[in-house]
Amino acid sequence: MYYGEESPKATPYLKKVVELQPANAKVWQMLAVDAERWGDNNASRGYMGKAAAADPNDPSYSFYYAMDFEEVDPAKWRSALYDLTKRFPNHERGAQGLYWLAVRTNDPLEKVKVFEQLRTLYPPEKFSWSNGGMSGLYDAYLQQNQPQKAKELAKAMGDKGRLGRQGIAG
């Protein structure tokens, strides 16, 4: 009840639950959200790591844990997202990780590389994050002066969605 009300009174109860049930990934995640809510990002990251360790077969915990490192350790963030794709090659969270890696990189060459990996590893016909990323790949091709690749991508995508800021232009 306290957790749902975003009350600081939730913290000791959540800690007691994980003391009694250390393999309860859901409560570790709740502790992570609770700590972040009160501005303790280090504790939040630690709790999310415990959630991922408590249930290593759930890609969501691993995804959120990886994302926690974007600002504090970009190398670890990248590495964890690539690891996610290896561990969960058939799950939407792997596609989501590559999507955010591509979108948030400032390196135009890396952006193309990661979007292409997203397309290859997670076919846009099957994964919504990959489908959504194809407009980013289209734009990245145009920004890299590769209009032929953009055109080929647009043709391959067909009616699966609108690509680029101006749509599919010849």
The phi and psi torsions of 107 (rounded to 5 degrees) equal -85, 115
Inter-residue contact 77 to 69 (CB < 8 Å): yes
**pLDDT tens-digit map of 82-138:** 999 999 999 999 999 999 999 999 999 999 999 999 999 999 999 999 999 999 999
Let me know whether 78 and 109 are in one domain.
no
**pLDDT tens-digit map of 49-79:** 999 999 999 999 999 999 999 999 999 999 9
Let me know whether 64 and 140 are in one domain.
no
Let me know whether 66 and 100 are in one domain.
no
The pTM of the full predicted model, rounded to 2 decimals, is 0.86
Q: Give residue for tokens 């979108």.
A: 103
Let me know whether 72 and 150 are in one domain.
no
Question: Domain total for the chain?
Answer: 2
Let me know whether 81 and 35 are in one domain.
yes
Q: CATH number for the domain including 33? A: 1.25.40.10
Q: Of 88, 106, 127, which marks where a domain is finished?
A: 88
Residue-number span of the structural domain to which 45 is assigned: 1-88
